[in-house]
Chain A
């Protein structure tokens, strides 16, 4: 089977840095994606790692270690609007385009 584990909730204050971890077990692997979802809204794409290492996109960075089946999303200079749920998702399994989502991490940013 396939599983992706994330912490259920993380809290931080404005301006801080937070790291959301994701460990996965999948039968096939093409890459790890990260999505943000505000309550009642659609998931929005944040980043994608196909190879080991760090990808940086503005305040967000994502890291992947395929040998450890592990990745993380790093959010810097936190803002109140970053309060949302964050999901890691693996492309793989039986199809390149299919996404299997992690359990999700709810980030609460306080003033």
Chain B
């Protein structure tokens, strides 16, 4: 089956530092990946669409200069949280589409829990 990995699974950083999160499609190529943020006991909120070889498309209200997205290859997208602050602490999840069983299913990575002190 389609597998999406994320690294790191958990990160703790000091306020003001930058954190990079990697999202990889392990056994398929993904021209498009998605980045979500999820606060405790809440739903997944789409932050941006990551397009291989072009600029990411950000959802309304998401600061593109704060959440830098790079989709350098067909299997890797990175999200960099710049100048992180405690309010950026959240569960960040990436996903990618893969045709499986006739449906275009979106497969999710295991998530990265970011804690900003």
Contact = CB atoms under 8 A, between A and B. Distances in A.
Interface of A: 33, 35, 40-45, 48, 87, 95, 97-104, 106
B93 interface: yes
B46 A98 contact: yes
Given A48-B103, A98-B46, A104-B42, 14 more contacts: A41-B110, A42-B110, A43-B93, A44-B108, A45-B105, A45-B106, A87-B43, A97-B34, A97-B104, A98-B34, A99-B46, A100-B46, A101-B45, A103-B43
Contacts of A87: 43-44
B100 to A, nearest CB: 8
Interface centre among A87, A97, A99, A103 (most CB of B within 10 A): A97
Interface of B: 32, 34, 41-46, 49, 93, 95, 97, 103-111, 113
A42 to B, nearest CB: 4
B44 A101 contact: yes
Contacts of B111: 40-42
Contacts of A41: 110-111
Q: Which 3 A-B pairs have the closest CB atoms?
A: A42-B108, A101-B44, A101-B43
A106 B32 CA distance: 30
B44 A48 contact: no
B44 A97 contact: no
